[in-house]
Structure 1
Amino acid sequence: MKILVSDPLSEEGLKILRDSGIPVDVKTGLSEDELCEIIGEYDGLIIRSGTTVTKKILDAARGLRVVGRAGVGVDNVDVPAATEKGILVMNTPAANIISAAEHSCAMILSLCRNIPFAHESLHRGEWKRSKFTGVELNGKTLGIIGVGRVGGEVAKRLRAFNMTMVGYDPFLPKEVADSIGVRLTDLEEVLRISDVMTIHTPLLPETRNMISIPQFKMMKPGALLVNVARGGIVNEDDLYTALKEKVIAGAAFDVWCSEPLCEAEKKLLELDNLVTTPHLGASTVEAQERVAVEIAEQVIRYLKEGSIAGAINAPRGKLDPDTAPFAPLAENLGVFAHQINGNRPINSMEITYCGELADKNTKMLTISALTGILRNVVGSENVNAINAQSIAKGKGIAVTESKREDSPVYSSTIELKIASGKDSYVLRGTVFANIPRLVGLDEYSFEIPMEQDMLYVRYKDAPGVIGAVGKILGDSGINIGQMTVGRDGPAGTAIMVMGIDQAITPELLERVRAASGSPDAKFVDLV
């Protein structure tokens, strides 16, 4: 066995690799072609952000078993290609939490006390104390948008400043927030009452541009906004307008839509009420050591013992030939269940294996379903078969698995039930012809392949509804690939589910709701 390190790694990490007894080569700055020439010799590859692991490199990697990313983001790794070749991709998502939380606190304090601006003024030879009068945190309200691991660490630290803390996190149980002193509420109240706001959500379709002009206008004139999470959560053009026109008092940003900044973003640097850093949230000696040490230990354990931690693409090899085809179905059921439930906390997930599956080892299928549920909660890059259970526990989701020998219609069926408060959904699915299929929802039975994005509508059964919805989609350029309908009886309640080739915008979804006469219409981003 051999390991290649193709980006700079701290000495602590390199020492762990060398002490393992596995030969280690450190060759940095390699081009794609140069890496292709030598990668066939190695079982493990450790990278940071400098190396891009392309399909071409992976195709040349005859014996490669694992790619270890020292850090969080794996956008420089072709994960689908690695999965196709059975190469495990690992990262170290927890290593940067403390550094990101501390940087958030530093940005808040710098902004409140005008430290960067006062520093610059003094270095120009000026002495303008009154110009840089700041504000105290004592007695102020801190709004945390995304009370996850980083947001929770920020809350713990800023409690010492005697701040009142409110938070918006639709996926976090109240008791978890209560335990760190954060009162959960809706986003609008956080925006309206907070003196300082700090963002800690992943960048998802639902969170992109979640802070724009309408949200800025909800904020106090003296409000301060800090983002050490991801660029794109705040609309940068609207941020410029809000700061330029003094809609809010100031902001501090570490992350950007383009990194390095593009020309269009550089106007933000002209503002005198914006504190900026070039994505330094994880840039501490300790964080860099932790990511190096963690990835070195993870790669060694996997190569020597087959032990998996921090996996982005858990291997299918853990599934036997009978259960493997049901893994995509289980994950799709989880995705579908979460998205029709909307942005509400899920209290429990119950999964039942019926028919022939009842005699199989279904643990990985349960984890697949859980991964699907969490995919749009924490971001698909942040959840996998290894960490899904711990994330679910942190979110207060109780998971139970049961088995039933009977499966009246199909040889094997998966039944997935989620509960959110007083509401619940029960989905049923199966696989035949190697295609995952949704075959029921609550009391309704139907059948449709789960191979593309979907539209779900629950409506009052009446003539013309299906045609009206179809016309709206057609007029909007949305092609319907598959469609099915289930109902509880003539003129009762019906469900239509469509497989569609294009995504549906929120505006178009509102038109579908109006045409169907039902508010219960959801776009399911399955692929």
Structure 2
Amino acid sequence: MAKILVSDKLSKDGLDILEASGIPVVMKPGMTEDELCKEIVDYDALIIRSGTKVTRKVIDAAKKLRVIGRAGVGVDNVDIPYATEKGILIMNTPTANILSAAEHTCAMILSLARNIPFAHSSMHEGKWDRSKFTGVELNGKVLGIIGVGRVGGEVAKRLKPFNMTMVGYDPFLPKEVADEIGVRLTTLEEVITTADFMTIHTPLLPSTRNMISLEQFKMMKPNARLANVARGGIVNEDDLYTALHDHIIAGAAFDVWCNEPLTDAEKKLLELDNLVTTPHLGASTVEAQERVAVDIANSAVKYLRDGIITNAINAPRGKLTPETAPYVPLAESMGEFIHQTVGNQPIEEMEVVYYGGLSTMDSKILTVSAVKGLIKGIVGVDGANIINALPVAKSKGIDVKESKTDKATSYSNLIEVKIMSAGKASCIRGTVFGEEPRLVNYNGYAFNVPLAGDMLFVTYKDTTGIVGKVGSVLGAAGVDIQQMAVSTKKGSDKAMMVLLVGKTVDQKIVDEIAKAVNGEAKFVELADN
């Protein structure tokens, strides 16, 4: 039975959902990396917040781990590439803390504009120094938003009533969406050079790490103020210190840091009198904590119990519909089939082609399923899933392609899988009748047989007496023939026989059949997909 480990604090509502599922749950927050490695060996799911670091060492120790659930948005505390390589699904809760993060951003900007934290500290020291803490209004100022997504958009909605002019940088946001919330999209350089207040709302990626460094600070207005409630590392902290210490900009408000808690080297930032700080509180509201816990608990249970994937950051893009879902087992069986027919030869290229109605549909999951079937023969059945299928194929030098055509065939929906192995091409075609995967063509030989179970393919020079010879060998070996079909192809003097048999055929028997017909024989054993 599946088991769930919760290694960071989770709200009661979230824990209640996990426990009500009937799946055993263990709550052990605050573990060190070594302690986590010892504990996680037999767990299928790991639920974390920002405190747990899921490193390569932890992933290697997790022998059964299938899913990592992050109660929150940021997943830079998880080694995503390595988890993906190991076929581990990573899910987060991208919408649960949007409002809390947006409100905290607004609070940070207002606190910075009116020097609230500094005035508060001064009063608690018994001072009354009004002139020292004179602030600025937001009215009429330019707000620059770097990342006008879900949080950035909510910040814009909340600060627009302050009569601020909104400019934003987001290469992925359609102009019409930005227009609706009153943000004029422009370049990053214009945002940096024109904004009086700036707020960052991008994920931490290789392309965004140190996005704001000394070069960008020197481009800003002297009265500019910068808020970061996104992720630590987007702003270079050493350069932030220089920019504030030397008054290159007027101030900053930060909720997130490169290291949490701060290292001794980072604590020099706390000496600055123009930096508002909070210890990563963007999502720390009662409401957000409940939402992220409930969302990740529901997602984990759905995946473990029903195989339903929600809010996964490393699952293949694409969606299944009632029309495409029946073709998933077919695609996987086709990939598995074609790998077995080439044996242990390296595969250079794999192309999945869609005909008929499938050519007009989202077929990404079908392609990934075909690749999953293919790599079963490379990494084993237990090591292949839709999470790691494409990365594993890439690591093995397999160039995966997908194409679609409206070329007419005899079937309303058809999938073709072609591979190139050791310079030799191989191709199969399949479709679905009812819910049954069917093989309709193999290397130019037309059939219409179930694509399942134990299958034997015999190629020979088209002549009489072959069926009897094959039957004799199988009969002597105690192998019953359940279904048989024979096909020829134009321009060839060879025929191919496909037999569905009742049990596994040993390689010795396969070789005996090939010798008996003076041709070739291959046995394929397909799992129940």
How far off is 1:405 after superposition?
Answer: 4.6
Q: Is the 8 A contact 2:352 2:403 kept in 1?
A: no
Q: Distance in 2 between matches of 1:263 and 1:191?
A: 30
Q: Distance in 1 between matches of 2:355 and 2:257?
A: 49
How far off is 1:367 after superposition?
Answer: 9.5
Q: In the TM superposition, what are the counterparts of 1:370-385 in structure 2 within 5 Å?
A: none
Q: In the TM superposition, what are the counterparts of 1:388-427 in structure 2 within 5 Å?
A: 402-405=404-407
Q: Is the 8 A contact 1:99 1:282 kept in 2?
A: yes
Q: Is the 8 A contact 2:102 2:155 kept in 1?
A: yes
| Cα shift readout 1:450-509 (whole Å, capped 9, x = no counterpart) | xxxxxxxxxxxxxxxxxxxxxxxxxxxxxxxxxxxxxxxxxxxxxxxxxxxxxxxxxxxx
Q: Distance in 1 between matches of 2:163 and 2:287?
A: 28
| Cα shift readout 1:366-417 (whole Å, capped 9, x = no counterpart) | 7989xxxxxxxxxxxxxx99xxxxxxxxxxxxxx9842559xxxxx999xxx
The number of residues matched between the two structures is: 361
User: Residue 296 and residue 32 in structure 1: after superposition, are their counterparts in 2 closer, same or farther (change >3 A)?
Assistant: same
Q: Distance in 2 between matches of 1:146 and 1:28?
A: 33
2:119 match: secondary structure: helix
Show the counterpart of 2:364.
365
Q: Is the 8 A contact 1:143 1:191 kept in 2?
A: yes
Give the letter aligned to residue 149 of structure 2.
G
Q: Is the 8 A contact 1:354 1:403 kept in 2?
A: no
Q: Distance in 2 between matches of 1:6 and 1:150?
A: 27
User: Residue 171 and residue 434 in structure 1: after superposition, are their counterparts in 2 closer, same or farther (change >3 A)?
Assistant: farther
Show the counterpart of 1:377.
none
How far off is 1:265 after superposition?
Answer: 2.5
Show the counterpart of 1:165.
166
Show the counterpart of 1:463.
none
Q: Distance in 1 between matches of 2:30 and 2:227?
A: 35
Q: Distance in 2 between matches of 1:22 and 1:201?
A: 35
Deviates more, 1:277-286 or 1:173-182: 277-286
Give the letter aligned to residue 68 of structure 1.
G
Show the counterpart of 1:464.
none
Show the counterpart of 2:513.
none
Show the counterpart of 1:48.
49
How far off is 1:90 after superposition?
Answer: 1.9
- 1:320 and 2:332 correspond: yes
Q: What is the identity percentage for the equivalent residue pairs of Structure 1 and Structure 2?
A: 68
How far off is 1:364 after superposition?
Answer: 4.9
Q: Distance in 1 between matches of 2:47 and 2:37?
A: 15
Q: Distance in 1 between matches of 2:316 and 2:225?
A: 44
Show the counterpart of 2:271.
270
Larger Rg: 2
Give the letter aligned to residue 154 of structure 2.
E
Show the counterpart of 1:221.
222
How far off is 1:108 after superposition?
Answer: 0.1
Show the counterpart of 2:294.
293
Show the counterpart of 1:524.
none
Q: Distance in 2 between matches of 1:207 and 1:274?
A: 22
Q: Is the 8 A contact 1:111 1:252 kept in 2?
A: yes
TM-score by length of 2: 0.60
How far off is 1:432 after superposition?
Answer: 3.5
Show the counterpart of 1:202.
203
Give the letter aligned to residue 260 of structure 1.
P
User: Residue 20 and residue 307 in structure 1: after superposition, are their counterparts in 2 closer, same or farther (change >3 A)?
Assistant: same
Q: Is the 8 A contact 2:354 2:403 kept in 1?
A: no
Deviates more, 1:290-299 or 1:203-212: 203-212
Q: Is the 8 A contact 1:70 1:292 kept in 2?
A: yes
Give the letter aligned to residue 292 of structure 2.
V
Q: In the TM superposition, what are the counterparts of 1:119-158 in structure 2 within 5 Å?
A: 119-158=120-159
Q: Distance in 2 between matches of 1:191 and 1:36?
A: 44
Q: Distance in 2 between matches of 1:42 and 1:211?
A: 40
Show the counterpart of 1:113.
114
Q: Is the 8 A contact 1:232 1:256 kept in 2?
A: yes
Q: In the TM superposition, what are the counterparts of 1:472-487 in structure 2 within 5 Å?
A: none
- 1:95 and 2:107 correspond: no
Q: Distance in 1 between matches of 2:30 and 2:416?
A: 51
Q: Distance in 2 between matches of 1:175 and 1:286?
A: 31
Q: In the TM superposition, what are the counterparts of 1:325-336 in structure 2 within 5 Å?
A: none
Q: Is the 8 A contact 2:6 2:48 kept in 1?
A: yes
- 1:305 and 2:306 correspond: yes
RMSD: 3.7
TM-score by length of 1: 0.60
How far off is 1:183 after superposition?
Answer: 1.0
Q: Is the 8 A contact 2:144 2:196 kept in 1?
A: yes
Q: Is the 8 A contact 1:225 1:252 kept in 2?
A: yes
Q: Distance in 2 between matches of 1:152 and 1:133?
A: 29
How far off is 1:145 after superposition?
Answer: 1.3
Gaps of 5+ in 2: 318-327, 339-349, 369-385, 388-401, 409-414, 424-529
User: Residue 61 and residue 324 in structure 1: after superposition, are their counterparts in 2 closer, same or farther (change >3 A)?
Assistant: same
Give the letter aligned to residue 320 of structure 1.
E
1:103 match: secondary structure: helix
How far off is 1:53 after superposition?
Answer: 4.3
Q: Distance in 2 between matches of 1:91 and 1:311?
A: 7
User: Residue 141 and residue 31 in structure 1: after superposition, are their counterparts in 2 closer, same or farther (change >3 A)?
Assistant: closer
User: Residue 211 and residue 434 in structure 1: after superposition, are their counterparts in 2 closer, same or farther (change >3 A)?
Assistant: farther
Deviates more, 1:165-174 or 1:106-115: 165-174
How far off is 1:126 after superposition?
Answer: 0.2
Q: Distance in 2 between matches of 1:264 and 1:53?
A: 24
2:276 match: secondary structure: strand
Q: In the TM superposition, what are the counterparts of 1:422-441 in structure 2 within 5 Å?
A: 432-433=420-421
User: Residue 54 and residue 211 in structure 1: after superposition, are their counterparts in 2 closer, same or farther (change >3 A)?
Assistant: closer
2:69 match: secondary structure: strand
How far off is 1:63 after superposition?
Answer: 4.9
User: Residue 325 and residue 181 in structure 1: after superposition, are their counterparts in 2 closer, same or farther (change >3 A)?
Assistant: farther
Gaps of 5+ in 1: 327-352, 370-383, 386-399, 407-411, 415-429, 436-527
Show the counterpart of 1:235.
236
| Cα shift readout 1:354-374 (whole Å, capped 9, x = no counterpart) | 8845477884537989xxxxx
1:237 match: secondary structure: helix
Q: Distance in 2 between matches of 1:147 and 1:34?
A: 40
Give the letter aligned to residue 301 of structure 1.
K
User: Residue 433 and residue 284 in structure 1: after superposition, are their counterparts in 2 closer, same or farther (change >3 A)?
Assistant: farther
Q: Is the 8 A contact 1:366 1:401 kept in 2?
A: no
Deviates more, 1:49-58 or 1:124-133: 49-58
Deviates more, 1:206-215 or 1:195-204: 206-215
Q: Distance in 2 between matches of 1:151 and 1:177?
A: 10
2:230 match: secondary structure: coil
